[in-house]
Structure 1
Amino acid sequence: MNTTTKPYLTGHYTPVADEVTATELTVEGALPPELTGRLIRNGHNPKPGVTPTHWFKGSGMVHGIRLREGRAEWYRNRWVHTPALDGAPYMTEQGPDLTASTAGTHVIEHAGRLLALCEANLPFELTPELETVGAYDFGGRLRSAMTAHPKEDPQTGELHFFGSSPFPPFLTYYVADAKGEITDSAEVPGATASLKHDFAVTRRHVVFIEGNVTFDPAEHSGIPYAWSDGQPARIGVMPRGADGARHVRWYSIEPGSLLHVSNAYEDGQGRIVLEGPTVDREGFRLSWNWWVGAPGRGSEPASRSYTRRWVIDPADGTVAEQIVDDLPVEFPTLNEAYLGSENRYQYAISFPDEKGFGGYGVVKYDRTTGARRIRQVGDSRMPSEAVFVPAAHATCEDDGYLLTVVSDLKQDASQLLVLDASGLEQVAAVHLPHRVPAGVHGSWIPDHL
């Protein structure tokens, strides 16, 4: 019986205690045959008896669902077996141990390698069956931590990513080619110790976001970051290319904090359009208190997270910004073929507001008409980040499916829901062998990669 008062260890976030494997899962409806591959999702799941001081410090556990031509072949969950899982400290007498990772934020595949990610550490390679191989440093070329939100260019297959640090050099940018070899790296001048969790890549630029949350050694939750009114909020725009870092330009923006980018692109006037859910000072306070289990928290960590749009005009050096929706959302996604280009549709997960009103749902935005559609998933049910998978022979941007794992507290169970990305209607549901805790990010990995 779980008696903890930490919100990130209760309800939908209650960890599971075992690694299991189940085969030939029950399917309701009909799985589209093009869904042949693996959905793999990561999240924080401390071992039994371990109570981390912050949600982000919980050890990573990956959950995988294998689909093949209309069948759900297997489900399995595995801890990412890093030194931190067995109690190794991040800080040592020699400095940070980049292998002592929770590895619990994201999981991607690039150039045939499956990597579990946490932004303070090196990636950890996994087998296709989710067993841990070990820390991966791109053949010694990765000399810093790696963001949990790399961007794969849909046209070139390059992987763009960065490493950030509370100490100089604050920001290092990397590019790995489609074969997984790092071909470019550079320190980005002008960066600060501001928390940089995500970033954006357009066809011609790399876009970094520095908000008001910055390194603070006085914060003792184990994650030494805090809101600072003295930390300028800024957007850094850097041309893509070998010497782009020499030409980075920083633009001041209104105070706030962004964790996840929806997308960014250059419009017809050469301006850079960037969007993503953000929180203000009070929103960050409510989120942080939830993350550490302190009094005065909101009902959910995303209870005041509203989608914001920035339009950066390099010609006159200005930034126009506005909140474009008043629904609390997080985990924005899109059809990845449009990453870095202008997209019409994007998706997110809705959350109750700071007073607990509203429910969980999968949200679809039409950026052309301004329409918003929500599919509620039901009482005591919480969906995970909705991963877009294109349909076979797709002819339009939203011709595809959304895959989301739903935690059901009343049934103490979980399902993988397959939704039509066009209208959000349910196509199929896969019953999983146990409840999957609410997690963070994941990827669809088709067999043809």
Structure 2
Amino acid sequence: MKPYLTGHYTPHVDEVTAHDLRVEGTLPPELSGRLVRNGHNPKPGITPTHWFKGSGMVHGIRLRHGRAEWYRNRWVRTPALDGAPYMTDKGPDLTASTAGTHVIEHAGRLLALCESNFPFELTPDLETVGAYDFDGRLTDVMTAHPKHDPGTGELHFFSSSPFPPYLTYHVSSDKGELLHSEEVPGASASLKHDFAVTERYVVFMEGTVTFDHGETSGIPYAWKDEQPARIGVMPRGRGGAASIKWFGIEPGSMLHAANAYEDGPGRIVLEGPTVDRDGFQRSWNWWVGSPGRGAVPNSRSFNRQWVIDLPADTVREQTIDDLVIEFPTINENLAGRRHRYQYAISFPDDHGIGNFGVVKYDRTTGARLIRNVGDGQLPSEAVFVPSAQGTSEDDGYLLTVISNLHADASQLLVLDATDVTAAPVATVHLPRRVTAGIHGSWIDDQH
């Protein structure tokens, strides 16, 4: 049995809806909205060749007026769910998507994302509307990690491909209109899963993982020592791609950026968990279901920082923590701006020893708090929601769904973001164990 079909990752075989969920503690009144999380959940009888190829399933929890009104899970009903191939005699079918990586809201649309296809629009109740191409203006794929600018409401995203043009940058207005698209010169076939946007710049990461036509898992990428790792920095705005500068960095692969911001004129700080060659291979072994040495879902992924000095044409980089983490999050009101606090999920070590946990970093003091969730339990990506009367960056809540194998159940924990080790503010008991997934969002009713 493939590891991504067992344990915390055992797929659901059905879709359910449950109302009036039991709540311990008190749900803060400002939590009025939906927590929606995405992940891979192949249909019964289907064994994908790679974890990332499993069909997308979204899980939603509706909170309002101090109540947990409902939980529901739904497959994203793309053509691929019923077996439609990605490659056809006319080329790629951009609607044949797993739609299983992330889910966001933009301009009133709830979008399930997978970086090799069009987005798929969902209703507020998580039913599938269909593929969304920005009214015909998007003719390429869309990254699963677009960035909202908290100042302008714009959505920044990119299309990447193992073939030229390797990288295209897009901007959508806060109303959902695709404002402009432009090819980015100098890019390569390196895997580009995430990126960052500051107030004046767009920051791309090219790691040592690149296109490999010989990879048989269906995800055609592999670690290649000859692929240089680089950071590309370009000015924001129409025509900025022509001025991109590329900076060589140490070998590695960063799947998820925590944030980037400007730290003085022409100086940019970028942070995110990064793996080395051995860490990537161990994780890949798990993702493809290989019994290779040390196969675990996430290995040797350490928080790393790069300081890019544009005038000096230099990059200074360092590993800033020795804890194995992934799924970094921040207060998204500071996306692209200097942040103090960062959150993440910690993983057992390379040999599977230890528990999962929810982590809080204080980048000013260097403090690190860890909430170990306990044996047999796995937290989802911790989503930050600001408190209504908050005055500090960390005044708010972390929402994480805990999968408990011992009880075959799940709970939504509402944690006080100022102290993740304290007792939960509230616990919502879900009607079933929620399969481990990838990314999600808090969709506030005020949006």
TM-score, with length taken from structure 2: 0.99
1:65 alignment partner in structure 2: 61
Q: Would the aligned equivalents of 2:285 and 2:295 in 1 still touch at CA under 8 Å?
A: no
Q: Which position in structure 1 is the counterpart of 2:270? A: 274
Matched, 1:436 2:434: yes
Aligned to 1:111: 107
**Counterparts of residues 12-411 of structure 1 (less than 5 Å):** 12-298=8-294, 300-411=296-407
Shift of 1:351: 0.2
Cα deviation, 1:339-392, whole Å, max 9, x if unaligned, reads 000000000000011111221000000000111000011111100000000001
Please give the per-residue CA displacement for 1:394-422, whole angstroms capped at 9, x wherever unaligned: 10000000000010000000000000000
Partner secondary structure for residue 257 of structure 1: coil
Cα offset for 1:300? 2.7
* Residue 7 (structure 2) aligns with: 11
What amino acid does structure 1 have at the position aligned with 2:235?
A: P
Give the CA deviation at 1:118. 0.1
Amino acid at match of 1:223: I
Q: Quote the offset at 1:299 in angstroms.
A: 5.2
Name the CA distance, whole Å, in 2 between partners of 1:299 and 1:430.
33
SS of the residue corresponding to residue 283 of structure 1 reads helix
| Percent identical | 75
SS of residue paired to 2:4: helix
* Structure 2 CA distance for aligned equivalents of residues 324 and 49 of structure 1: 43
Counterpart secondary structure, 1:24: strand
Q: Is the 8 A contact 1:299 1:356 kept in 2?
A: no
Structural RMSD (CA): 0.7
Contact 2:280 2:299 in 1 (8 A): no
8 Å contact from structure 1 (residues 299, 353) kept in 2: no
Q: Name the residue aligned to 1:448.
A: 446
Alpha-carbon offset, residue 215 of structure 1 = 0.6
The separation in 2 between residues aligned to 1:298 and 1:72, in whole angstroms, is: 40
SS in 1 for 2:312: coil
The alpha carbon displacement at 1:270 in A equals 3.2
- In structure 2, C-alpha distance between the alignment counterparts of 1:137 and 1:235, rounded to whole Å: 28
Q: How many residues align?
A: 445
Specify the alignment match of 2:408 in structure 1: 412
Residues of 2 paired with 1:390 and 1:403: CA distance?
Answer: 11
The question of whether the paired residues in 2 share the 8 Å contact of 1:266 and 1:272 is answered with yes
Counterpart residue identity of residue 135, structure 2: G
Q: List alignment gaps of at least 5 residues for structure 1.
A: none
CA deviation map 1:174-212 (0-9, x unaligned): 000000001011000000110000000001100000001
Q: 1:1-59: per-residue Cα shift (whole Å, max 9, x none)?
A: xxx2x111111011111100000000011100100000000000000110000000000
Map Cα deviations across residues 261-290 of structure 1 (whole Å, 9 max, x no partner).
000001035311000000000001101000
Name the amino acid aligned to 2:6. T
TM-superposition CA deviations, 1:99-139 (whole Å, max 9, x none) = 00000000000000000000000000000000000000001
Partner Cα separation in structure 1 for residue 293 and residue 146 of structure 2? 30
Q: List structure 1 runs of 4+ shifted beyond 4 angstroms.
A: none
Structure 1 CA distance for aligned equivalents of residues 333 and 131 of structure 2: 29
Structure 1 distance, partners of 2:88, 2:211, is: 19
Q: Distance in 1 between matches of 2:358 and 2:137?
A: 39
Contact conserved, 2:282 with 2:294, CA < 8 A, in 1?
Answer: yes
Alpha-carbon shift at residue 334 of structure 1 (Å):
0.3
How many Å separate the matches in 2 of 1:178 and 1:25? 34
TM-score (norm 1): 0.98
* Amino acid in the other structure paired with 1:386: A
The SS at the match of 1:226 is: strand
Offset of residue 447 of structure 1: 0.4
Does 1:427 pair with 2:425?
Answer: yes
Q: Check conservation: 1:287, 1:297, Cα contact below 8 A.
A: no
Counterpart-to-counterpart distance in 2, 1:214 and 1:297: 22
Output one character per residue of 1:195-243: Cα deviation in whole Å (capped at 9) or x when no partner. Answer: 0000000011000000011111100111011110111100000000111
Whether the 8 Å CA contact 2:99–2:119 is kept in 1: the answer is yes
Amino acid at match of 2:137: R
